[in-house]
């Protein structure tokens, strides 16, 4: 069998078992009693309304901030490249780190001195922090290839602002829409942020699913909520695909951005750096807070990490770290072959496969975990379900990175190898794999960083002895006392460092598409 | 109309120094091998690059400090740089809208240009649906639309295949003559420069080597390098010239300098190259390789020994 066919079969089999069957079971349960009960309940209807509002406002905010930032960052000025790299940081940071950061910045004991918890503003800030960098990267990636077009616009009489308005903005509309669409999807189905910061008023559907399931054991209700959520995500994804088709333009060859010289360059640096300093202040607050007790500097939170296990339900920091790394590694064993198979199949042009890459976007981790419990009750005691959930969430990111590198390979290399007598398998082993090795490293790093911070599925699937760092943070936050609070901050710093360290250490930060 | 006054552009390991003027209505070709700095000269004139020193004048006005959008030049990019999100019509209208023309006037001007360039059928297509030659014409129409004082063309035919180049070259020549626009175009192809331009300026390693009318430059090349670059095949070193009885320094034999059939020299036909309409012949005479071109009937077979003569009037002396 040709390797591309085998790859496609592998991906299809995995998606059928790990996504379609469990999710189909849940959605099937959602019809009937559950659905009418959910639609009749004003509180649950409110969850749908708020989730939609949160998603829509978040994407609007991201676009509003991204446009002026892109206007400045399309130029070259001192420190610009560092700022572009910096804007990527939150993308690999676990949501829980962002959530505890917001708590340390604008929570009840926050550094800002203004308690925003229980208001939507803290959620919007968190969402912006999380999604703005991703959108900027998408847009700047497209604009990187439009240098010649801007020059053409300039010679035709368009000034800097006019050429931005008439050429660069229309060209980046596709990327901007992609960023907005992804921001909607991530915010609409977000879990960690609203669970910790939103209270009952600003709980999303995803949080409502979790609460219905684990606090009230109302399975029918949870299934109905998942049904509603999935329906919205399917509609949004279809709109996203349509918009991508309409707005996409082929980018030209990459060209260096024009230089903004002298005072204007430094002013741009000041503006952009100042903005990011404010936007990312919660992350700084998190680090500061982990060293700060009621009487000033304190190592109590960090010292608490060394404490032995307090009870069966309160995992020690050591165990949580061990579990986090162990599960990520385990998941990578599934993610890597799956992600590679998917990327390879798409690259070699297996029809319809590229659309399947969107499917995992349609499921939220909590819904997925609920589906697993329903579909495979016999496997609850094994780590297989957890590893599968991780792989399903991480493989599209792995595949995207590898696929970008594959598309950069000259097509005639494989053709040359074929004329020299190598079959498709031999070409894969002797030519393609060696050339893709750097990208595979970067892709593995990204996948590992994402699974290290996974929260929703872990919370539903993990037994107490499997608690990861994210679960441990959540557990500490739920307990009273300043030391528990400080320990949650310290654990979050540790988690953030771990995710960022894996991402930059393994992948050296490059190559990620 | 356009003048580079002591313009210097510096890059790591490279320097362009240029002092050159283009008269109103004139077509000038900046001719040079790749990396000679000719494109930089064009970009400086358009304001896409700032010179390290010197001034640029347009219509007598110092424009060195003006951004590109305020210079009123037309620029045709080598890769055309057509806006992929706009139709052909909108691409051509772009500069007119920037200048705030009235809508009816824009429609008229765009319509005229599309008609003139044979693009009417493509007006509502996006650039990616066009062939290379069509794109080139759109780029030219877009640059010409706002009736710029000076049209700058960066290797305008460089990205096209040979057959298409010949056709578009004639078209470009016709358009430049018809629009009565001052034009500067950069090329590495001497045929392109000779056919299209009234004056040719040859640039080598960032320096202006020679300038003049095409025939003048071709028949009196400044030095041996320029002669070879312009396509001369018989460029003789001093000792080779001496062996053939021509005194002095290096010599260039113009086409027609070499006559076959009679004369004081004896030579042997080494390679006979059949091009179709003409035949090229590499000869050896007194240890010097010589090239002759003519109708097939006059060219002897390979290996033949023959008499030949050199017209000293057409053996011009050049600098080293």
Contact B250/B316 with Cβ under 8 angstroms? no
Asked whether residue A244 carries a pLDDT value surpassing 80, the answer given is no
Across B174-192, average pLDDT: 86
The minimal CB distance from A148 to the residues B81, B99, B152 is found for B81
> How far is the alpha carbon of B147 from chain A, nearest alpha carbon, in Å?
11
3-state secondary structure of A455: coil
The three-state secondary structure class of B184 is strand
Q: Classify residue A496 as exposed, middle or buried by CB count within 10 Å of its CB (0-12, 13-18, 19+).
A: buried
Cα separation, A138 vs A244, in Å, equals 13
Mean pLDDT across A176-199: 90
Inter-chain residue contact A155 with B98, CB threshold 8 Å: no
Residue A179 has pLDDT above 60, yes or no: yes
Please identify among residues 237-256 of chain A the ones whose CB lies closer than 8 Å to any CB of chain B.
249-250, 252-253
Query: Rounded to whole angstroms, how far apart are CA atoms A453 and A458?
Result: 10
Is A489's pLDDT higher than 70? yes
Distance from CA of B230 to the nearest CA of A (A): 31
Rounded Cα gap, residues B233 and B104, in angstroms: 55
Antiparallel, parallel or unpaired: β B14-22 and A292-293:
unpaired
Tokens of A457: 């599925």
> How close B51 comes to chain A (CA, Å)?
14
For residues B311 and B215, the answer to whether their CB atoms sit within 8 Å is no
Kindly determine whether residue B84 and residue A171, on different chains, have CB atoms separated by under 8 Å: yes
CATH number for the domain whose boundaries are A3-512: 1.10.3720.10
Shortest distance, CA B10 to any CA of chain A (angstroms): 16
The residue ranges of every structural domain in chain A are 3-512
Q: Kindly give, in sequence order, each residue whose CB lies less than 8 Å from that of residue A415, ignoring residues fewer than 6 positions away.
A: none
CB contact residues (below 8 A), chain A span 14-43, against chain B: none
Contacts of B99 in chain A (CB under 8 A): 157
pLDDT band at A129; cut points 50, 70, 90: very high
Smallest CA-to-CA distance from A468 within A485, A484, A451 is with A451
Q: What is the mean pLDDT of residues B298-319?
A: 89
Q: What is the pLDDT of residue A122?
A: 92
- Kindly report each contact of residues A84-89 with a partner whose C-beta sits within 8 Å and lies 24 or more positions away, as own/partner: A84/A136, A84/A137, A84/A140, A85/A509, A86/A133, A86/A276, A86/A280, A87/A132, A87/A133, A87/A136, A87/A137, A87/A276, A88/A133, A88/A134, A88/A137, A88/A509, A88/A512, A89/A133, A89/A280, A89/A283, A89/A500
pLDDT in tens, A438-479: 889 889 998 998 899 999 899 888 888 888 999 999 988 888
Q: Is A11 helix (H, G, I), strand (E, B) or coil?
A: helix
Per DSSP bridges, beta strands B2-11 and A296-297 are unpaired
pLDDT of the residue at A249: 65
| pLDDT, mean of residues A159-170 | 88
DSSP class of residue B125? S
Cβ–Cβ gap B68/A250 under 8 Å: no
B83 interfaces chain A, CB cutoff of 8 Å: yes
Is B69's CB within 8 Å of A157's CB? yes
On chain A, the residues whose CB falls within 8 A of the CB of B142 are 152, 156
Express as a percent the part of chain A with pLDDT over 90: 31
Q: What is the pLDDT of residue A513?
A: 40
**Pairing between β-strand B61-62 and β-strand B53-58 as defined by DSSP bridges:** antiparallel
DSSP state of B129: G
Q: What percent of chain A has pLDDT over 70?
A: 95
Query: Which of A494, A495, A512 has its CA nearest to residue A445?
Result: A512
Q: What is the DSSP string of B195-243?
A: HH-SEEEEEETTEEEEEE-HHHHHHS-SBHHHHHHTT-S-EE-HHHHHH
Task: Note whether A282 and A102 are within 8 A (CB).
Answer: yes
Quote the pTM value. 0.82
CA A372 distance to own-chain centroid? 21
Query: How would residue B13 be classed by pLDDT, with cut points 50, 70 and 90?
Result: confident
Contact across the interface for A148 and B79, Cβ inside 8 Å: yes
Amino acid B211: pLDDT: 94
CB–CB contact B74 A155 (8 Å): yes
Q: Does residue B225 belong to the interface with chain A, where contact is any CB pair within 8 Å?
A: no
A166-181 average pLDDT score: 89
As a whole number of angstroms, the distance between CA A156 and CA A150 comes to: 10
Q: Return the sign of the alpha-carbon dihedral for residues A92, A26, A49, A232.
A: positive
Spell out the residues 6+ positions from residue A210 whose beta carbon is closer than 8 angstroms to its own.
A191, A195, A366, A456, A459, A460
Candidate ranges A258-272, A363-377, A397-411, B226-240; pick with highest mean pLDDT: B226-240
User: CA of A250, closest CA in chain B: separation in Å?
Assistant: 7
Is any Cβ of chain B less than 8 angstroms from the Cβ of A156? yes
> Residue A82: pLDDT above 60?
yes
Residue of B83, B99, B128 with shortest CB distance to A157: B99
Q: What is the mean pLDDT of residues A25-47?
A: 83
Nearest to A212 by CA among A200, A196, A197, A198: A200
Q: Is the CA virtual torsion A152, A155, A160, A164 positive or negative? A: negative
Would strands B150-154 and B73-76 be described as parallel, antiparallel, or unpaired? Answer: parallel
**A511 pLDDT band (50/70/90 cuts)?**
very low
Chain A positions in Cβ-Cβ contact with residue B46 (cut-off 8 Å): 155
Half-sphere exposure of A228 (CA within 13 A, CB side): 26
Most B CBs within 10 Å, among A147, A151, A156, to test the B interface: A156
Query: DSSP secondary-structure letter at A257?
Result: P
Strand partners, B186: B30, B154
**Contact at 8 Å (CB) between B55 and B7?**
yes
Cα–Cα distance, A79 to A108 (Å, whole number): 35
CA distance to partner chain A, nearest, from residue B99 (Å): 7
Pairing assessment for the beta strands B182-187 and B150-154 based on DSSP bridges: parallel
HSE at residue A451, side-chain half, CA atoms within 13 A, is 33
Tokens 């057509």 identify what position? B82
At residue B134, the 3 state secondary structure works out as helix
Mutation choice for A interface testing from B56, B85, B92, B93 by most A CBs within 10 A:
B85
The least confident of A118-122, A274-278, B166-170 is B166-170
User: Hey, what are B78's tokens?
Assistant: 């080598």
Residue A413 has which token pair?
């290399």
The torsion angle over the Cα atoms of residues A159, A160, A164 and A168, rounded to 10 degrees, is 100
Flag whether the ipTM exceeds 0.85: no
Separation CA B82–CA A249 (nearest Å)? 12
Cβ atoms of residues A366 and A342 within 8 Å: no
B69 contacts A155? CB cut-off 8 A: yes
Measure the CA–CA gap between A449 and A499, rounded to whole angstroms. Answer: 5
Contact B75 A158 (CB under 8 A): no
Q: Which residue of B has its CA nearest to A259?
A: B49
- Look at A154 and B48 and tell me if their CB atoms are within 8 Å: yes
Nearest CA in chain A to B83: A149
DSSP-assigned beta bridge partners for residue A210: none
Mean pLDDT of B112-129: 92
Angle at B186 between CA B185 and CA B192, to 5 degrees: 80
**Chain B, 96-125: which have a CB under 8 Å from a chain A CB?**
98-99
Separation of alpha carbons B172 and A12, rounded Å = 56
Mean of pLDDT over chain B: 90
Torsion angle in degrees (nearest 10) through CA of A200, A204, A210, A212: 60
- Three-state secondary-structure class, residue B148: coil
Report pLDDT digits (tens) over B214-230. 999 999 999 999 999 99
> pLDDT-derived band of residue B28, with 50, 70 and 90 as boundaries?
very high
pLDDT tens by residue, B56-102: 999 889 999 988 888 889 999 888 888 888 899 999 999 999 888 99
Which residues on B lie below 8 Å from A249 (Cβ)? 84-85
pLDDT (0 to 100) of residue B261: 84
B135 at the A interface (CB within 8 A)? no
Distance CA A146, CA A78 (A): 21
Residue-wise over A79-91: b if at least 16 C-beta within 10 A, else e? Answer: ebeebbebbebbb
- Say if CB B38 and CB B78 are below 8 A apart: no
Residue A306 distance to chain B (closest CA, Å): 56
């Amino acid at each position: 069998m040709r390797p591309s066919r085998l790859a496609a079969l592998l991906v299809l089999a995995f998606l059928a078992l790990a996504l379609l069957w469990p999710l189909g079971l849940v959605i099937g349960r959602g019809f009937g009693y559950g659905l009418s009960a959910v639609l009749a309940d004003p509180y649950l209807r409110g969850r749908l309304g708020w989730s939609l509002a949160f998603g829509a406002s978040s994407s609007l905010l991201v676009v509003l901030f991204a446009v002026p930032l892109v206007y400045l960052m399309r130029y070259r000025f001192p420190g610009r490249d560092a700022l572009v790299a910096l804007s990527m940081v939150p993308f690999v940071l676990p949501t829980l780190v962002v959530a505890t950061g917001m708590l340390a910045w604008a929570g009840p004991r926050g550094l800002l001195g203004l308690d925003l918890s229980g208001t939507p503003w803290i959620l919007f800030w968190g969402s912006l922090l999380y999604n703005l960098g991703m959108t900027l990267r998408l847009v700047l990636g497209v604009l990187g290839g439009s240098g010649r077009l801007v020059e053409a616009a300039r010679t035709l009489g368009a000034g800097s602002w006019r050429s931005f308005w008439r050429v660069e903005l229309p060209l980046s509309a596709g990327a901007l829409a992609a960023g907005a669409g992804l921001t909607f999807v991530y915010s609409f189905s977000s879990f960690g942020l609203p669970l910790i910061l939103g209270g009952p008023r600003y709980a999303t559907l995803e949080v409502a699913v979790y609460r219905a399931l684990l606090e009230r054991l109302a399975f029918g209700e949870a299934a109905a909520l998942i049904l509603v959520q999935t329906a919205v995500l399917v509609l949004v994804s279809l709109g996203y695909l349509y918009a991508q088709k309409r707005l996409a333009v082929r980018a030209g060859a990459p060209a260096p951005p024009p230089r903004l010289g002298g005072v204007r360059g430094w002013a741009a640096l000041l503006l952009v750096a100042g903005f990011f300093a404010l936007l990312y202040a919660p992350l700084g607050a998190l680090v500061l807070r982990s060293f700060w007790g009621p009487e000033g500097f304190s190592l109590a939170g960090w010292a608490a990490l060394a404490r032995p296990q307090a009870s069966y339900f309160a995992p020690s920091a050591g165990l949580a770290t061990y579990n986090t790394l162990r599960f990520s590694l385990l998941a990578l064993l599934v993610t890597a072959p799956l992600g590679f198979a998917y990327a390879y199949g798409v690259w070699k042009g297996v029809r319809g496969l590229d659309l399947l890459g969107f499917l995992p976007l349609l499921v939220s981790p909590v819904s997925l975990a609920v589906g697993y419990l329903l579909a495979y009750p016999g496997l609850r005691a094994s780590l297989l379900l957890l590893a599968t959930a991780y792989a399903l969430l991480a493989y599209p990111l792995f595949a995207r990175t590898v696929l970008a590198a594959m598309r950069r390979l000259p097509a005639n290399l494989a053709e040359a190898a074929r004329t020299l007598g190598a079959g498709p398998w031999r070409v894969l082993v002797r030519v393609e794999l060696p050339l893709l090795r750097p990208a595979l490293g970067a892709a593995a790093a990204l996948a590992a960083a994402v699974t290290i911070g996974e929260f929703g599925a872990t919370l539903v699937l993990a037994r107490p002895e499997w608690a990861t760092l994210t679960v441990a943070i959540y557990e500490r936050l739920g307990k009273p006392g300043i030391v528990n609070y400080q320990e949650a901050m310290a654990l979050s710093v540790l988690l953030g460092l771990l995710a960022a360290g894996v991402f930059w250490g393994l992948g050296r930060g490059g190559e990620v598409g | 109309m356009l003048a580079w006054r002591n313009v210097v552009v510096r890059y790591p390991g490279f320097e362009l120094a240029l002092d050159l003027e283009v008269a109103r209505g004139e077509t000038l070709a900046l001719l040079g091998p790749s990396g000679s700095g000719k494109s930089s000269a064009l970009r400086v004139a358009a304001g896409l690059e700032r010179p390290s020193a010197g001034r640029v004048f347009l219509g007598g006005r110092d424009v060195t400090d003006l951004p590109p959008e305020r210079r009123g030049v037309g620029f045709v990019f080598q890769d055309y740089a057509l806006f992929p999100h706009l139709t052909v019509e909108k691409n051509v209208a772009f500069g007119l809208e920037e200048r705030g023309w009235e809508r009816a006037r824009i429609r008229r001007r765009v319509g005229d240009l599309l008609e003139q360039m044979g693009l009417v059928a493509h007006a509502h297509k996006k650039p990616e649906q066009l062939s290379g030659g069509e794109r080139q014409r759109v780029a030219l129409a877009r640059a010409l639309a706002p009736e710029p004082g000076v049209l700058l063309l960066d290797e305008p035919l460089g990205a096209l295949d040979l057959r298409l180049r010949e056709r578009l070259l004639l078209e470009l020549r016709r358009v430049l003559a018809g629009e009565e626009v001052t034009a500067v175009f950069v090329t590495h192809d001497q045929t392109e420069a000779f056919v299209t331009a009234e004056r040719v300026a040859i640039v080598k390693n960032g320096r202006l080597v020679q300038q003049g009318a095409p025939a003048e430059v071709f028949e009196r090349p400044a030095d041996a390098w320029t002669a070879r670059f312009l396509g001369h095949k018989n460029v003789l070193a001093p000792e080779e010239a001496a062996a053939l009885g021509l005194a002095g320094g290096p010599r260039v034999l113009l086409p027609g300098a070499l006559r076959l059939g009679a004369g004081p020299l004896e030579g042997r036909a080494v390679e006979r190259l059949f091009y179709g309409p003409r035949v090229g012949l590499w000869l050896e005479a007194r240890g010097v390789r010589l090239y002759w071109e003519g109708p097939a009937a006059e060219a002897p077979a390979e290996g033949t020994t023959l008499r030949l003569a050199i017209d000293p009037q057409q053996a011009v002396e050049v600098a080293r």
